[in-house]
C-alpha cells in the first residue's frame, strides 16, 4: 500500500455542545464504529478510531469497498449495521470476535455498511490541508457511482434542516447532529467539530467496583475520566443493575481484578492525604461517614459509555446510567474535553432579580 495518507490516522473528533451552532455544515450523527478506510487497488484496510485494524471483522465491507470506491483513496466514515429500519450498535459489538468462522457467519447474517462523510486523499493527492468546503464536493464526486452498502452521508448548510434531522432521525437509531466548520482543514485527532446529542453521555474508564450488600457481586461500577494532566479522576458510579446482571459483571470483570492495587491510579485511596487535589473513590463525607468504602481495583483498561444528567464541579451530580461497553475507545481518550459544557444562565433571572 502506497497512498499519500497512510495508516494509521486518528480521525477528527467532536466536542459536545448544547445547541446546533450557526454557519456550518451539518450531518446526522451515526451510531456505529468510526472507521478510516484506506484503499490502494485490491488492498483495503479499515482503521478504528484508536488506530487498531478492523479489517478482519468486516470482510463483506472490505469486498464492497473494492467495488464501490475509487482505486486509490482514503475516507473517513462509519461502519454501521442497519436492521428493521434502525441502526444496531449491539450487533456491531458482536463482530469483534477472535473466531474467523463466527465473523464470517455474522457477516452473512447481519451485514454491515459503510457511510462516508469525509475524503482525506484521492489518487496521489492528500486533501488533509484542504478546507471542508473543498473536501465535501470532492467526496460527493468520488462516490457518485457508489451503491449499497457504501453510502455518502447526507449533509447540508441549512440549520433549520439540521434541527429537523435532530428531532426526526432519533427514531431510526441515529445519535444527534454533527456540525463541521466549512473553512477548516482535516485535523487528525483534534476536537474541531461539534456534536449535539439527545442526552448527555460520556465515555468513562471502569477502574473498579464496589460489591453489592448482598454478596460478592457488582454493586456499583467506579468511573474515571482523565484530567488535563492525564490523571484518572473518580467522577461517579453506575449502580442500577438487575441482580442477574450484577453476577454477570462480576464474572466479566474478574480477569481485570488487581490483587495488589498499589500500581492502580487510585491505589492510595485509603490515605486521607491522597484525596487532596485529586478525586479518588472512598473519600469520607457526611454522606459516607459510616459506610464501608472499600472497593475492588480493576486494571483501568475497559471503557463504558454512561448517561448522566449534569456535572457538579468535576463529577457527575447523580448516579450515571450504564449504556454500553465501548471497545472502540481507549482509556486515554476518556477526558473532560468530551463533556458537554452547559450554556450559562444568569441565576438572578431565575430568582426574578
Query: Can you read off the three cell numbers belonging to residue 302?
Result: 475497559
**201-211/321-325 β-pairing:** unpaired
Residue 22 makes CB contacts below 8 A (sequence gap 6+) with 159
| Residue 218 bridge partners (DSSP) | 211
Using alpha carbons only, what angle is made at residue 144 by residues 166 and 13, rounded to the nearest 5 degrees?
A: 45
Instruction: Give the C-alpha separation, 68 to 353, whole Å.
Output: 62
Count CA within 13 A, CB hemisphere, residue 162: 25
Residue 154 makes CB contacts below 8 A (sequence gap 6+) with 27, 28, 165
Contact 48, 34 (CB under 8 A): yes
Query: Can you read off the three cell numbers belonging to residue 317?
Result: 451530580
Instruction: Give the C-alpha separation, 211 to 254, whole Å.
Output: 12
| Residue 307 bridge partners (DSSP) | 201, 321
The continuous run of DSSP H or E covering 162 comes out as helix 159-168
Query: Rg of the chain's alpha carbons, rounded to an integer?
Result: 22
- Just list the catalytic residues: 29
Query: Can you read off the three cell numbers belonging to residue 259?
Result: 490483587
Contact 209, 253 (CB under 8 A): yes
Amino acid at each position: 500500500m502506497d497512498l499519500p495518507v497512510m495508516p494509521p490516522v486518528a480521525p477528527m473528533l467532536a466536542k459536545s455542545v448544547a445547541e446546533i451552532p450557526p454557519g456550518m455544515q451539518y450531518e446526522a450523527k451515526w451510531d456505529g464504529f468510526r472507521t478510516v478506510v484506506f484503499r490502494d487497488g485490491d488492498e483495503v484496510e479499515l482503521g478504528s478510531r484508536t488506530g487498531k485494524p478492523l479489517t478482519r471483522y468486516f470482510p463483506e465491507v472490505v469486498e464492497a469497498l473494492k467495488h464501490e470506491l475509487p482505486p486509490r483513496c482514503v475516507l473517513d466514515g462509519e461502519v454501521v449495521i442497519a436492521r428493521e429500519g434502525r441502526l444496531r450498535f449491539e450487533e456491531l459489538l458482536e463482530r469483534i470476535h477472535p473466531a474467523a468462522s463466527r465473523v464470517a457467519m455474522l457477516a452473512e447474517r447481519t451485514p454491515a455498511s459503510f457511510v462516508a462523510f469525509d475524503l482525506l486523499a484521492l489518487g496521489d493527492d492528500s486533501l488533509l490541508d484542504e478546507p471542508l468546503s473543498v473536501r465535501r464536493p470532492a467526496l460527493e464526486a468520488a462516490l457518485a457511482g457508489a451503491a449499497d452498502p457504501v453510502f455518502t452521508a447526507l449533509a447540508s448548510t441549512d440549520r433549520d434542516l439540521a434541527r429537523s434531522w435532530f428531532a426526526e432521525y432519533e427514531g431510526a437509531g441515529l445519535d444527534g447532529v454533527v456540525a463541521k466548520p466549512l473553512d477548516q482543514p482535516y485535523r487528525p485527532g483534534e476536537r474541531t467539530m461539534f456534536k449535539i446529542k439527545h442526552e448527555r453521555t460520556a465515555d468513562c474508564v471502569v477502574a473498579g467496583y464496589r460489591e453489592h450488600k448482598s454478596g460478592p457481586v457488582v454493586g456499583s461500577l467506579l468511573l474515571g475520566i482523565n484530567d488535563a494532566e492525564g490523571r484518572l479522576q473518580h467522577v461517579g458510579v453506575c449502580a442500577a443493575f438487575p441482580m442477574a446482571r450484577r453476577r454477570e459483571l462480576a464474572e466479566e470483570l474478574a480477569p481485570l481484578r488487581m490483587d495488589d492495587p498499589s500500581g492502580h491510579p487510585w491505589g492510595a485511596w485509603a490515605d486521607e492525604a491522597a484525596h487532596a487535589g485529586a478525586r479518588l473513590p472512598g473519600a469520607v463525607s457526611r454522606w459516607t461517614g459510616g459506610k464501608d468504602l472499600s472497593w475492588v481495583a480493576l486494571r483501568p483498561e475497559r471503557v463504558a459509555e454512561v448517561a448522566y444528567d449534569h456535572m457538579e464541579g468535576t463529577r457527575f451530580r447523580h448516579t450515571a446510567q450504564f449504556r454500553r461497553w465501548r471497545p472502540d475507545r481507549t482509556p486515554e481518550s476518556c477526558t473532560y474535553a468530551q463533556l458537554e459544557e452547559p450554556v450559562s444562565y444568569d441565576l438572578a433571572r431565575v430568582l426574578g432579580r
